[in-house]
Structure 1
């Protein structure tokens, strides 16, 4: 029992170390929280979490070493850079027409599925997410599986809870700040987040090139 508590607690703390790092998921969370309100947090967590379940299964069947291969990680970086560039362009192009709704929490201006899929896409296009799971995550999976299903559930529960808590904090911060937002400021934030994703796309693309070339 104590070992399961240890697995859960350490997974939670290490999960925070990754969740708190700025990245595409942070930008997507802020953009969707502005549009949908707090429901964006659990929806994005669900999209993110489904991929985490999938990669844990892959690690359990021994594909961790494959994900860490330079050409695989590099290809993920190249593809991720292109997709993030597309997402950033979409945010930038929509910024001029963006407007705050009177009821920010209604979520009527964006389908729930869009938020869910955005969380999944932002996760899948991040090559460092794959590398984290192929290294740190793989080690945790190897340790947790010694305790069977309870061990794996303790690990995943702590890890995904860190993501959910941090995304919830971001959503609440954005929602609280909405009362001081004008449409002009709102458009500027959406535009800035689009630029942020665009810069990350260049970073991921360049990382993919360097990983493949071995620079």
Structure 2
């Protein structure tokens, strides 16, 4: 029979060997896990890039998000849409967007013809700001002038420009930030879409961008158009005054920034 002490020593060596094996096992497993995570992450990013390259539809939500980043910012077109919808109803929004998209299509044709550098000239930017600032002041003053009359008779004159024409003007000479946005942000996104998915990528990006304008401005117009029947005359006048003040403030900002 073996010695009990020898048995204990053998048991200790066995336990130590087992502990060492477990340590090595978990150490190797941890290393393998890190390698696995890195490879999975790399594979995921690669698949994402290939997905954008092979699936142009991925550029639709991209265009939507980029478009909303500009549409959601307060601007003269938003102020006009809200003010005009309070007096003329929810049909203002679609007509404003139609004029806006028509103007953006004109910008795209200019960029395609290589005239992008025209909008980058400081003299052109100064001219657009001067004309836009003066006309915005006029629109704001017309809004306040209308408030001196009864609301029913003042509504057609609060902002006398037709919504479709306003969509064009508020995307060009009345708001030079729109063509400048296309020069700095929009056109670069189109280049990325073309590099990864060619013409189809550009088409889906433009569809997403157009949807951002349609969803936002039509929603604002609908809510304001419904609001004129839900709110009192006093609040109606207050909203028109706020929007007119914003138009005047934006016009002054453009003139001061010359």
TM-score by length of 1: 0.84
The CA distance in 1 between the partners of 2:256 and 2:115, in whole Å, is: 25
SS of aligned partner of 2:246:
helix
Deviates more, 1:141-150 or 1:41-50: 141-150
1:161 paired residue among 205, 211, 226: 211
Aligned to 2:245: 195
More RCO (CA 8 Å, sep 6+): 1
What are the superposed Cα offsets for residues 179-215 of structure 1, whole Å, 9 maximum, x if unpaired? 33222322222222111100000111122x1xxxxxx
1:116 aligns with 2:168: no
In structure 2, runs of 5+ residues without a counterpart are: 1-52
User: Residues 153, 37 of structure 1: CA spacing in aligned structure 2 closer, same or farther, 3 A cutoff?
Assistant: same
1:40 aligns with 2:92: yes
Query: For 1:24-173, what aligned pairs fall within 5 Å after superposition?
Result: 24-100=76-152, 114-124=162-172, 125-146=174-195, 147=197, 149-173=199-223
In structure 1, runs of 5+ residues without a counterpart are: 102-107, 210-215
Q: CA deviation at 1:155?
A: 2.1
Q: CA deviation at 1:109?
A: 5.2
User: Residues 95, 119 of structure 1: CA spacing in aligned structure 2 closer, same or farther, 3 A cutoff?
Assistant: farther
Q: CA RMSD in A?
A: 2.5
TM-score by length of 2: 0.71
